[in-house]
Amino acid sequence: MRQNIKQRREHEIVVSQSDHERLTGLAESSLDRLPDIAEELLKEMDRAKVAPLSRIPATVIRMGSTVTFRSGDGEVKTVTLVYPGKADIAEGKISILTPVGAALIGLREGQSVAWTSRDGRRLEFEIVSVEAPREGAN
């Protein structure tokens, strides 16, 4: 089943060199299984500003970050962005290879993103807070 993911971002995104390399490789290796999400993640990596980890502010979402966001209907959720093998929705750990995961990477507190979900709904959320990853968390 093809997924319909169309993200619109009006803000620059920033990723670390290590996240950029690993996420680009992950997206390329996922093109056969998850073409829409993989293509969207590749587009995000192509347009991202790549910086050394030491220059990435703590308020920027990167792999392992814990993020609180508010949806368009006011619902607030907190999730941790992880690689596919560590995803566990019951624990609030979402994979980068999901529409929400791909939408989160590189955003900052206060920014928002909108996209069309797998079931065709238009969704939008705003980043309320970002907690930097714990060392060794991802």
Residue 10: is its pLDDT beyond 70?
A: no
CATH ID of 7-131, from 1.10.3720.10, 3.20.20.140, 1.25.40.340, 3.10.50.30: 3.10.50.30
Q: Is residue 5 pLDDT above 50, yes or no? A: no
DSSP-based three-state secondary structure for 43: helix
What contacts 24+ positions apart, CB below 8 Å, involve 78-87? 80/137, 81/105, 82/138, 83/22, 83/26, 83/138, 84/26, 86/138
Q: Strand 14-16 and strand 49-51: pairing? A: parallel
> Which pTM value belongs to this model?
0.85
Query: What does the pLDDT look like over 13-42, one tens digit per residue?
Result: 999 999 999 999 999 999 999 999 999 999
Domain ranges of the chain: 7-131
Per-residue pLDDT reduced to its tens digit, 92-113: 999 999 988 998 999 999 999 8
